[in-house]
């Protein structure tokens, strides 16, 4: 019989709210986020140590502005040269993979969890966690929400306040609620 963690990692319905192992993992991550948020920005080595404990590695040239929150930490894979502005939340029950040279504006959320429409199942604590994938050279404006299972291609700009519910192809400017592509360009173009 599979554990709830194994079900979560496979993208199956799992008990997110009542499983002791998952609760313990989330408390550990939240404690580390608390420690990070209460460490001076200038204490670079201490912040690196906390992030290494949280993520299980330290990405090259990472900058995270506190406060920052995630559920597990270990389900986040960040490339190099990543900037994450203040008050971002990574709900990483499903994996969150982000390429290189990505800029995340303040108050952005990456939400991998989805819940049953049937309230009886939802009240049992069931959810499913679907991965989020972000390519390289992507910029997220402030207050962007990325929903479960979404893939955003390379070289995209996602406008402030967008709610991304569907995949965004590479080389796109997209914004709105729901987020939609408003312009695309050839990968050889350097600007709009």
Q: Would you name the residues annotated as active-site residues?
A: 115
Residues contacting 101, CB < 8 A, separation 6+ = 79, 80, 81, 82, 136, 137, 138
Residues contacting 9, CB < 8 A, separation 6+ = none
The distance in angstroms from the start CA to the end CA of the chain is 53
Buried b (16+ CB within 10 A) or exposed e, 160-182: ebbebeeebebbbbbbeeebebe
Residues contacting 53, CB < 8 A, separation 6+ = 32
DSSP β-ladder status, 126-129 and 113-114: antiparallel
Asked if 159 contacts 146 with a C-beta cutoff of 8 angstroms, the reply is no
Asked if 55 contacts 74 with a C-beta cutoff of 8 angstroms, the reply is yes
């Amino acid at each position: 019989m599979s554990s709830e963690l194994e079900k979560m990692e496979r993208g199956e319905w799992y008990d997110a709210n009542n499983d002791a192992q998952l609760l313990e993992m989330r408390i550990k991550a939240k404690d580390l986020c608390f420690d990070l948020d209460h460490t001076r920005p200038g204490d670079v080595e201490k912040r690196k140590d906390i992030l290494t404990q949280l993520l299980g590695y330290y990405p090259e040239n990472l900058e995270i502005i506190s406060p920052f929150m995630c559920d597990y930490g270990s389900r986040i894979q960040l490339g190099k040269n990543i900037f994450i502005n203040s008050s971002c939340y990574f709900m990483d029950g499903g994996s969150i993979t982000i390429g290189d040279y990505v800029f995340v504006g303040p108050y952005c959320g990456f939400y991998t969890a989805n819940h049953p429409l049937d309230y009886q199942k939802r009240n049992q604590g069931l959810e499913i966690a679907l991965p989020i994938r972000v390519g390289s050279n992507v910029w997220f404006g402030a207050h962007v929400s990325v929903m479960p299972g979404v893939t955003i291609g390379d070289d995209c700009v996602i406008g402030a306040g967008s709610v991304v519910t569907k995949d965004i192809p590479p080389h796109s400017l997209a914004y709105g609620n729901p987020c939609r592509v408003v312009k695309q360009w050839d990968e050889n173009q350097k600007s709009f």
